[in-house]
């Protein structure tokens, strides 16, 4: 039986009083101080930041717990370089894209006209994977992208698009709240009523409309808009046993009429021979009388049955009488238009049916239906008048009724959220991830408020959270814990972070209480205790949880949130991290330390890198550990940049979903027909490349330069601008110029952990005395004057990173840049790199630069290119390290390179001690290593002597 409108669930068991009291007390305490300002600096008078609370990124007030704080996107402008080039591709895409396409599913869900717009497809539509059960998510991503694009460029086109979307979503929410209303369109005769596909709307006919006699004629003009089988034109019945129906398309695509008292196996039917055309008016009629049934299409009889024993009288009194809805739950709702629906208590003649083709029934020999007659002349409201004289009006309904709260906003029915509350296992064909989708929409409308200043967007965001609180607060803790633990139906993305950001604006206690209703205690408690339980978990379902926990710590002071997030990060980085900074295989985590064993076509889901960057950034606000920004550089300069194809496209953002790291992989920049989660985050990433280049100490006494990226910071509080001039990573360093007022602050320059060959800083041409340990920040403290220039030199070194589970499987880095071999082979390349290693330990002399192609090198016939280049060349991100012979400075010793029990070779042991001051220091270390390996029985004395002799004779690059 088709699902009746699903009521809101009864309240679950009340939370423990102590728990509820704690939530409310924490919410009230936090709301007293957490206020915000607009991203563009125009603070709303009613929402001025509390004294001493500085505005953070995106206009949300920076929490007092943050010892470092970001700048707003508008304060950091990108200059010419790799980031600006990549961003321009997305800016052009967003500038030209018709956002009405994104709104199509929202408008359809609300029963509003869609203006002929076609949804983008992929996950963002009514068709496709899991029947579009994630639709609406991409619109949220796109809103965030447009909002960030406006904040970063100031181009009005992006703000205009944002306002258009927000206006449309405001109309959608009102339509969902107020219930269905007639959508009037041009009909076969005058006006007709349209049921938009995806609206879940139907026409509820009055009881007794079939008359209960032994004869019946049903006649209607229909204009189908979709070819899904079994969508009903008419369905009258009690359940899936006793019913009468007329479908526009049966399994064979042709119309079919049937009635039964024994379910499908007992149907007496009339089946047509050809499909009704889409988007074209067709007349259908069924006559029943004296044991004969006839099905007509456009006035012609297409099926007849003279042995029908059933009629309306045999069916008895039926409960439901519908136009457009089926009693079978899996059948779709009819999509299309109705005009001139009539029912007669007799069987019309063939001539009478034929006469209905050219005029309304009232002007034909048949006359209006004596049981019911609907002309659908209404242009507003939700009631259709009956012209039969019996005063039996019909009503427009929605299969799922009205939302449980007026703040509800989605591109699909609330039933997705309701069904989740009773689910015990995963089935994304039934429920995919409704709160994940809600997060994307919430984040998008909140960003529209923060960056563009549209007050309607704040109202939408606040209403969504009010609605979620009304649902979730009535559930028991046990129910919520079960929900959030389900893959992937219970996935909720970064919704907690977004709710906390909203709470910082609204100060509503319920909003902070809502954020805590997403606690997944089993995971939080394990991570807080330092217990690694990540094996087997869906990576992107859980990474953004921890960014939300950090925001909850900010709002509540509960330290287990901070501890859990800190420990979780260390469980992923580096233990489940690929060289490019990504994580996960086929979306899931495997055992800690298994990297080579997971390399394949579906590694490194791009969303995971996006969310790990957000987590690393937020952790840094709490503790300025350079490791967080070392990771940030790795993932941003490699996976994130490399996930965007270096091509323009008006239709797709051209961003990867998975980045396969198996040999010969070709990146897929149009996955799953587009509009996946990763393409959404890809849109966002490209319009916020500048968000972590600079941070400031909370008291304004220091400026952190985290990334060497061509950009200009406007630090209004200090009255200065800081401009970076660099072609990094094609240039091994950067120049910073301070302009403006004379002011004192500590310039904190990140010294990358890989910078083993020195980190040199000069100020106005003079060497700065500064600590420059790799993996830290170098401080330059002074009173800065207009024109002061800081030059940073960061020599790159070619190095490898080994897989912990198979050390011979390695990946290659040049400074921050991952280099990948371009080769179509599907087996690991076997490469040696020690032949011409420099005294510094740099492996670069073993490679040959490719003229005219920065960062490209050759090793024999193999070309290595930076991962960040978004091409569709087959690549090898990992290779098999093969160093069979001992060789120094290109001179072979004629001795095999032995390996120890852990796989470490003799040459590994030698070069692990680099850098060497000079050749003599290297030779001394070679001699000591030989003595050790000879003593361990891994090398003969004679071979050891050859090795030392070769080390002495060889020439080295310093």
- Give residue-wise pLDDT tens across range 299-358: 999 999 999 999 999 999 999 999 999 999 999 999 999 999 999 999 999 999 999 999
Minimal CA–CA distance to 889: which of 949, 831, 819? 949
pTM higher than 0.75 = yes
Mean pLDDT, to the nearest integer, of 553-581? 98
Distance CA 895, CA 907 (A): 11
3-state secondary structure of 696: strand
Which distant-in-sequence residues (6+ apart) come within 8 Å of 780 by Cβ? Answer: 746, 747, 749, 761, 763, 768, 770, 790
CB 341 within 8 A of CB 374: yes
Among the ranges given (8-22, 136-150, 452-466, 477-491), the one the predictor scored with the smallest mean pLDDT: 8-22
Mean pLDDT, to the nearest integer, of 945-954? 97
Side-chain half-sphere of 203: how many Cα atoms within 13 Å? 33
Distance CA 454, CA 764 (A): 45
Minimal CA–CA distance to 211: which of 318, 118, 368, 286? 318
Q: 3-state SS of the chain: helix, strand, coil percent to 5?
A: 30, 20, 45
CB 872 within 8 A of CB 669: yes
Residue-wise pLDDT tens digits, 117-162: 999 988 999 988 898 999 999 999 999 999 999 999 999 999 999 9
CB 552 within 8 A of CB 23: no
* β 743-751/702-705 pair status: parallel
Distance CA 623, CA 435 (A): 30
For the cut 60, the answer to whether the pLDDT of residue 754 exceeds it is: yes
Ramachandran region, residue 869 (left: φ > 0; alpha: ψ -120 to 50; beta: rest): beta
Alpha helices, H only, 289-433: 312-315, 350-355, 415-420
CB 560 within 8 A of CB 524: yes
Which distant-in-sequence residues (6+ apart) come within 8 Å of 872 by Cβ? Answer: 645, 666, 667, 669
For the cut 50, the answer to whether the pLDDT of residue 1 exceeds it is: no
pLDDT of residue 41: 32
Tell me the helices (H) and strands (E) count for the chain, helix number first.
23, 39
CB 77 within 8 A of CB 87: no
* Distance, first Cα to last Cα, the chain: 80
Which distant-in-sequence residues (6+ apart) come within 8 Å of 671 by Cβ? Answer: 656, 657, 658, 678, 679
Mean pLDDT, to the nearest integer, of 836-860? 96
Which distant-in-sequence residues (6+ apart) come within 8 Å of 699 by Cβ? Answer: none
pLDDT of residue 61: 79
Cα 575 to its chain centre, rounded Å, is 24
Residue-wise pLDDT tens digits, 410-437: 999 999 999 999 999 999 999 999 999 9
How far are the Cα atoms of 529, 634, 670, 812 from residue 729, in angstroms, in the given order? 39, 12, 27, 15
Residue-wise pLDDT tens digits, 873-891: 999 999 999 999 999 999 9
Distance CA 127, CA 119 (A): 10
Residue-wise pLDDT tens digits, 706-734: 999 999 999 999 999 999 999 999 999 99
Distance CA 138, CA 545 (A): 20
Residue located via tokens 């217990």:
531
Mean pLDDT, to the nearest integer, of 528-552? 98
Distance CA 562, CA 621 (A): 12
For the cut 60, the answer to whether the pLDDT of residue 27 exceeds it is: no
For the cut 50, the answer to whether the pLDDT of residue 4 exceeds it is: no
Side-chain half-sphere of 501: how many Cα atoms within 13 Å? 28
> For 862-866, which contacts have Cβ atoms below 8 Å and span 24 or more sequence positions?
862/821, 862/822, 862/823, 862/829, 862/831, 863/821, 863/822, 864/812, 864/819, 864/820, 864/821, 864/822, 865/819, 865/820, 865/822, 866/729, 866/814, 866/817, 866/818, 866/819, 866/820
307 prior amide bond cis, ω within 30: no
Residue-wise pLDDT tens digits, 801-836: 999 999 999 999 999 999 999 999 999 999 999 999
* β 879-881/830-831 pair status: parallel
For the cut 60, the answer to whether the pLDDT of residue 502 exceeds it is: yes
Query: 770: which DSSP letter?
Result: -
Which distant-in-sequence residues (6+ apart) come within 8 Å of 523 by Cβ? Answer: 533, 542, 545, 564
pLDDT band with cut points at 50, 70 and 90 for residue 681: very high
Which distant-in-sequence residues (6+ apart) come within 8 Å of 818 by Cβ? Answer: 579, 580, 638, 811, 812, 866, 867, 868, 877
Number of residues assigned to the chain: 958
Other C-beta atoms lying within 10 Å of the C-beta of residue 699: 9
The per-residue pLDDT of the chain, averaged, comes to 93
pLDDT band with cut points at 50, 70 and 90 for residue 56: very low
3-state secondary structure of 382: coil
For the cut 90, the answer to whether the pLDDT of residue 771 exceeds it is: no
Domains of the chain: 184-398 (2.60.120.200), 694-793 (2.60.40), 803-953 (no CATH)
Residue-wise pLDDT tens digits, 377-421: 999 999 999 999 999 999 999 999 999 999 999 999 999 999 999
Mean pLDDT, to the nearest integer, of 545-568? 98
Tokens, residue 502: 């909203």
The angle subtended at Cα 388 by Cα 383 and Cα 394, nearest 5°, is 20
**Residues facing 848 on adjacent strands:** 858
Which distant-in-sequence residues (6+ apart) come within 8 Å of 233 by Cβ? Answer: 220, 222, 246, 247, 248, 255, 284, 323, 324, 334
Residue-wise pLDDT tens digits, 198-257: 999 999 999 999 999 999 999 999 999 999 999 999 999 999 999 999 999 999 999 999
Distance CA 198, CA 203 (A): 15
Cα 482 to its chain centre, rounded Å, is 23
pLDDT of residue 59: 63
pLDDT of residue 35: 29
Distance CA 487, CA 315 (A): 45
Q: Per-residue b/e over 399-418, b at no fewer than 16 CB within 10 Å?
A: bbbbbbbbbbbbbbbbbbbb
How far are the Cα atoms of 78, 907, 929 from residue 936, in angstroms, in the given order? 56, 16, 11
Tokens, residue 355: 């006469």
* β 694-697/394-398 pair status: unpaired
For the cut 90, the answer to whether the pLDDT of residue 30 exceeds it is: no
CB 755 within 8 A of CB 799: no
Distance CA 723, CA 789 (A): 10
CB 764 within 8 A of CB 788: yes
Give strand ranges (E) for 34-124. Answer: 68-70, 76-78
Distance CA 315, CA 244 (A): 8
Mean pLDDT, to the nearest integer, of 34-50? 33
* β 201-204/320-323 pair status: antiparallel
Which distant-in-sequence residues (6+ apart) come within 8 Å of 191 by Cβ? Answer: 184, 185, 339, 376, 377, 378, 379
Distance CA 650, CA 676 (A): 16
Distance CA 297, CA 299 (A): 5
How far are the Cα atoms of 47, 209, 349, 370, 915 from residue 365, in angstroms, in the given order? 69, 21, 10, 13, 102
């Amino acid at each position: 039986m088709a699902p009746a409108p699903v009521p809101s669930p009864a309240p679950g068991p009340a939370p423990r009083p102590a728990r509820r009291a704690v939530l409310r007390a924490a919410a009230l305490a936090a709301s007293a101080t957490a206020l915000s300002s607009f991203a563009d600096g125009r603070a709303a008078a009613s929402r001025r930041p509390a004294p001493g609370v500085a505005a953070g990124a995106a206009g949300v007030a920076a929490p007092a717990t943050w010892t470092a704080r970001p700048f707003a996107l508008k304060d950091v402008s990108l200059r010419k370089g790799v980031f600006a080039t990549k961003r321009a591709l997305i800016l052009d895409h967003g500038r030209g894209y018709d956002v009405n396409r994104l709104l199509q599913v929202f408008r359809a869900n609300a029963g509003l006209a869609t203006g002929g717009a076609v949804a983008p497809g992929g996950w963002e539509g009514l068709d496709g994977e899991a029947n579009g059960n994630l639709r609406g998510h991409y619109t949220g991503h796109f809103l965030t992208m447009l909002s960030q694009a406006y904040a970063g460029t100031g181009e009005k086109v992006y703000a205009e698009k944002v306002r258009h979307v927000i206006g449309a979503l405001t109309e959608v929410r009102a339509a969902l709240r107020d219930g269905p209303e007639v959508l009037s369109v041009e009909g076969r005769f005058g006006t007709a009523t349209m049921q938009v596909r995806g609206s879940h709307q139907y026409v509820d006919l009055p009881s007794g409309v079939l008359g209960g006699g032994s004869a019946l004629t049903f006649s209607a003009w229909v204009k189908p808009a979709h070819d899904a089988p079994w969508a009903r034109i008419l369905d009258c019945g009690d359940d899936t046993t006793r019913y009468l129906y007329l479908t526009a398309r049966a399994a064979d695509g042709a119309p079919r009429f049937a009635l039964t008292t024994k379910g499908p196996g007992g149907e007496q039917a009339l089946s047509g021979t050809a499909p009704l055309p889409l988007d074209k008016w067709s007349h259908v009629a069924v006559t029943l009388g004296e044991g004969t049934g006839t099905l007509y299409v456009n006035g012609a009889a297409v099926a007849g049955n003279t042995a029908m024993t059933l009629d309306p009288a045999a069916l008895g009194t039926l409960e439901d009488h519908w136009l457009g809805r089926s009693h079978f739950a899996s059948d779709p709702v009819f999509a299309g238009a109705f005009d001139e629906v009539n029912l007669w208590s007799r069987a019309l003649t063939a001539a009478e049916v034929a006469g209905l083709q050219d005029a309304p029934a009232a002007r034909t020999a048949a006359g209006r239906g004596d049981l019911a007659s609907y002309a659908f002349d209404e242009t507003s409201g939700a009631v259709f008048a009956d012209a039969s004289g019996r005063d039996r009006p019909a009503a427009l309904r929605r299969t799922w009724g009205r939302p449980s709260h007026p703040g509800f906003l989605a591109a699909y029915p609330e039933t997705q959220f309701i069904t989740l509350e009773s689910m015990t296992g995963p089935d994304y064909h039934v429920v995919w991830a409704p709160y994940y989708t809600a997060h994307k929409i919430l984040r998008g409308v909140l960003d529209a408020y923060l960056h563009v200043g549209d007050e309607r967007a704040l109202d939408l965001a606040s209403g969504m959270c009010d609605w979620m609180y009304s649902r979730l607060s009535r559930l028991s803790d046990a129910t919520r814990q079960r929900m959030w633990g389900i893959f992937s139906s219970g996935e909720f993305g970064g919704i907690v972070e977004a709710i906390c950001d909203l709470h910082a604006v609204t100060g509503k206690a319920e909003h902070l209480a809502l954020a805590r209703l997403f606690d997944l205690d089993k995971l939080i408690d394990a991570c807080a205790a330092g217990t690694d339980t990540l094996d087997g978990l869906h990576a992107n379902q859980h990474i953004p949880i921890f960014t939300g926990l950090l925001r909850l710590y900010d709002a509540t002071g509960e330290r287990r949130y901070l501890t859990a997030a800190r420990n979780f990060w260390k469980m992923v980085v580096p233990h489940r991290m690929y060289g490019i900074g990504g994580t996960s295989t086929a979306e899931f985590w495997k055992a800690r330390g298994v990297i080579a064993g997971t390399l394949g076509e579906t590694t490194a889901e791009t969303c995971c890198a996006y969310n790990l960057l957000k987590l690393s950034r937020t952790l840094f606000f709490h503790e300025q550990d350079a490791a967080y920004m070392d990771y940030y550089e790795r993932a941003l300069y490699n996976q994130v940049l490399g996930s965007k194809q270096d091509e323009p496209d008006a239709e797709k953002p051209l961003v990867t979903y998975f980045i396969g790291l198996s040999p010969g992989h070709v990146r897929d920049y149009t996955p799953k027909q587009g509009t996946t989660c990763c393409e959404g985050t890809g849109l966002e990433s490209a319009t916020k490349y500048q968000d972590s280049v600079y941070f400031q100490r909370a008291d304004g006494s220091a400026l952190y330069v985290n990334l060497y990226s061509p950009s200009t910071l406007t630090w209004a509080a200090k009255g200065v601008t800081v401009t970076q001039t660099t072609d990094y990573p094609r240039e091994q360093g950067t120049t910073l110029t301070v302009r403006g007022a004379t002011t004192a602050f500590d310039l904190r320059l990140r010294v990358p952990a890989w910078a083993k060959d020195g980190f040199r800083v000069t100020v106005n041409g003079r060497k700065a005395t500064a600590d420059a340990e790799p993996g830290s920040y170098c401080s330059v403290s002074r009173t800065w004057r207009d024109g002061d220039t800081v030059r940073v030199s960061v020599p790159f070194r070619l190095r490898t990173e080994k897989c912990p589970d198979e050390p011979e499987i390695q990946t290659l880095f040049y400074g921050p840049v991952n280099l990948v071999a371009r080769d179509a082979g599907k087996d690991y390349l076997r490469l040696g790199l020690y032949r011409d290693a420099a005294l510094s330990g740099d492996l670069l002399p073993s490679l040959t630069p490719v003229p005219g192609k920065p960062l490209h090198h050759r090793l024999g016939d193999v070309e290595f290119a930076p991962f960040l280049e978004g091409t569709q060349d087959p690549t090898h991100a990992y290779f098999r390290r093969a160093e069979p012979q001992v060789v120094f400075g290109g001179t072979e010793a004629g001795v095999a390179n032995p390996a120890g029990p852990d796989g470490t070779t003799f040459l590994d042991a030698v070069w692990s001690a680099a850098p060497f001051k000079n050749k003599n220091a290297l030779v001394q270390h070679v001699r000591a290593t030989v003595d050790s390996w000879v003593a361990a029985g891994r090398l003969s004395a004679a071979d050891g002597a050859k090795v030392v002799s070769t080390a002495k004779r060889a020439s080295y690059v310093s």
